């Protein structure tokens, strides 16, 4: 197996390229000419692998999928139009009406909405539990449970998941473990090495790395055996009428990813969360520099965390490298670097947050992470604005918490910017009292 840096740049079989470009071309087309009637029939029947229609795949997208599968040492990947759609497609491929998902209660707010609101409308129930409590996961599993789902690194507190422990619980129950590895990426963590079965990404974030394009991805790690209990997984083990009553598990199995064949031909086909060729190309460019960017962001984040640890303006710092973090041991065990998101509680209180945020010069106020630029957001009024105080506390933060995503700027400039914002708030509060 080649190294990560080589796979970032070289993985993915390029289709025929008559003009011999060095970089991956953007195949900007909606449809593809079939060479014959027989070819069209066989492609639609999944007897032949070739371009069908860009809603279900594009040559630029296919190279991105092969590259992402290689980074995670999976058997296949499926790219979608956003990270949210990747999570939705992955879970809907496993659970249907009347079935159940167990998930972490510290998820990104949009994923919580998906599980507790939209999926409930679909008749799919979800139980959210403390990700650090193994017995809570075990107790939540039911006969109709079809997946366990959690983030390897939580957002916004950078909590670290004990993936191996959770994988063992999932497999004891005969269900797969899906890991959202958006914050870590394969540069910091490869979930397959710790027992996970599927990985999802918001490729919009670190994989793309420059905040230009929405994209998502699902990687099948090739570890889960749907044939072990076929009655649980009729979508894979019973005839699939869309393609001539073929049984997907028999034709494709683990190595050919029956899971992603179903996800693509049913869910992506029907719901339409297609990834544009241009956005696929943008993510490919980002992936080529992934480990270099993550290394720089990791070192800068470590410096910022140490600064905040020492500064009285931050009452609590949420990060595995912060003093006294309960996640330090898990970070040592699982990560090959430092997560570049962190959060902290502003000691001056919630009322001082607008003044602090508006005083910053080198942090962009934006609802994103993993950008080349450093970003800040106030979760309680934005990404988690529908959470009440109890829900915020359950997720590990409060209304006075601010999230930072550390970019590629000089870390000394970032720390100086935070310092002057703290000083501005102190002066502002003194003036208010006076």
From 254, 286, 318, the end of a domain falls on 286
Q: At 346, which helix (H) or strand (E)? A: strand 341-346
Q: Taking phi first (over 0 means left), then psi (-120 to 50 degrees means alpha), and beta for anything else, what does residue 133 get?
A: beta
Task: Indicate whether 4 belongs to any domain.
Answer: no
Whether 413 is covered by a domain: the verdict is yes
DSSP 257-316: THHHHHIIIIIIHHH--PPPHHHHHHHHHHHTTHHHHHHHHHHHHHHHHHHHHH-TTEEE
Q: Residue 13's pLDDT band (boundaries 50, 70, 90)?
A: low
- In a domain, residue 242? The reply is yes
Is 409 inside any structural domain?
yes
* 420, burial (CB in 10 Å: exposed 0-12, middle 13-18, buried 19+): middle
Q: Is residue 1 part of a domain?
A: no
Q: Are residues 53 and 185 in the same domain?
A: yes
260 and 312, same structural domain? no
Whole-model pTM: value is: 0.94
Which CATH number do you get for residue 38? Answer: 3.40.640.10
User: Tokens standing for 132?
Assistant: 């650090």
What is the count of structural domains for the chain? 2
Do residues 197 and 168 both lie within one domain?
A: yes
Residues 180 and 272 in one domain: yes
Question: Same domain for 278 and 298?
Answer: no
Same domain as 328, residue 280: no
6 assigned to some structural domain? no
Is 393 a domain residue?
Answer: yes
Q: Are residues 300 and 201 in the same domain?
A: no
14 band by pLDDT with thresholds 50, 70 and 90: low
Phi/psi of residue 155, nearest 5 degrees: -130, 120
pLDDT of residue 11: 86
Q: Are residues 300 and 429 in the same domain?
A: yes
Q: How many CB atoms lie within 10 A of CB 278?
A: 13
Residues 78 and 189 in one domain: yes
Specify the 3-state DSSP secondary structure of 173. Answer: coil
What pLDDT digit, counting tens, does each position of 40-78 carry? 998 888 888 888 888 989 999 999 999 999 999 999 999
What is the share, in percent, of the chain residues with pLDDT greater than 70?
A: 98
Residues 253 and 158 placed together within one structural domain of the fold: yes
Strands 246-247 and 401-405: unpaired
pLDDT digits (tens, 9 = 90+) for 277-317: 999 999 999 999 999 999 999 999 999 999 999 999 999 99
Whether residues 275 and 356 fall in one domain: no
In this predicted structure, the answer to whether residue 272 has a pLDDT above a threshold of 70 is yes
Question: Across the strands, what pairs with 178?
Answer: 149, 198
Q: How far out from the chain centre does Cα 188 lie?
A: 13
- Taking the C-alpha atoms of residue 320 and residue 157, their distance in angstroms, rounded to an integer, is 9
> Do 252 and 306 fall into the same domain?
no
Q: Are 247 and 237 in contact (CB under 8 A)?
A: yes
Last residue of a domain, one of 286, 305, 340: 286
On whether residue 135 sits in a domain, the answer given is: yes
Beta pairing partners, 198: 178, 220
Range of the domain at 408: 290-433
Copy the structure tokens of residue 9: 């740049």
């Amino acid at each position: 197996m080649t190294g990560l840096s080589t796979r970032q740049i070289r993985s993915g079989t390029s289709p025929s390229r008559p003009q011999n470009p060095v970089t991956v071309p953007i195949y900007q087309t909606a449809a593809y000419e079939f060479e014959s009637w027989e070819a069209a029939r066989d492609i639609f029947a999944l007897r032949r692998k070739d371009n069908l229609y860009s809603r279900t795949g594009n040559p630029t997208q296919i190279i991105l999928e092969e590259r992402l599968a290689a980074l995670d040492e999976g058997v296949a990947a499926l790219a979608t139009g956003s990270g949210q759609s990747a999570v939705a497609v992955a879970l809907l491929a496993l659970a249907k009406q009347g079935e159940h998902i167990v998930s972490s209660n510290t998820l990104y707010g949009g994923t919580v909405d998906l599980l507790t609101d939209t999926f409930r409308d679909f008749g799919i129930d979800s139980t959210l539990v403390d990700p650090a409590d193994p017995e809570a996961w075990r107790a939540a599993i039911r006969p109709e449970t079809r997946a366990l789902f959690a983030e390897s690194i939580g957002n916004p507190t950078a909590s670290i998941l004990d993936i191996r422990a959770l994988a063992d619980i999932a497999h004891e129950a005969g269900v797969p473990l899906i890991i959202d590895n958006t914050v870590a990426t394969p540069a910091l963590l490869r979930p397959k090495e710790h027992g996970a079965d599927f990985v999802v990404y918001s490729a919009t974030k670190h994989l793309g790395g420059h905040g230009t394009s929405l994209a998502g991805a699902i990687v099948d790690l090739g570890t889960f055996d749907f044939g072990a209990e076929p009655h649980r997984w009729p979508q894979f083990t019973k005839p699939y009428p869309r393609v001539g009553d073929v049984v997907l598990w028999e034709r494709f199995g683990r190595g050919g990813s029956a899971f992603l064949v179903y996800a693509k031909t049913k869910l992506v086909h029907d719901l339409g969360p297609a990834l544009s060729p241009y956005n696929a190309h943008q993510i490919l460019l980002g992936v080529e520099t992934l480990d270099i960017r993550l290394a720089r962001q990791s070192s800068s984040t470590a410096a910022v965390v140490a600064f905040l640890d020492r500064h009285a303006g931050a009452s609590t710092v949420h990060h595995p490298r912060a003093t006294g973090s309960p996640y330090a041991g898990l970070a040592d065990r699982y990560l090959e670097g430092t997560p570049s998101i962190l959060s902290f509680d502003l000691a001056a209180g919630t009322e001082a947050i607008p003044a602090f945020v508006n005083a910053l010069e080198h942090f962009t106020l934006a609802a994103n992470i993993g950008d080349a630029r450093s970003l800040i957001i106030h979760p309680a009024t934005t990404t988690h604005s529908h959470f009440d105080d109890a829900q915020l506390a359950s997720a590990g933060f409060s209304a006075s918490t601010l999230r930072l995503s550390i970019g590629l700027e000089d870390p000394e400039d970032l720390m100086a910017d935070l310092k002057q914002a703290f000083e501005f708030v102190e002066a502002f509060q003194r003036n208010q009292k006076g």
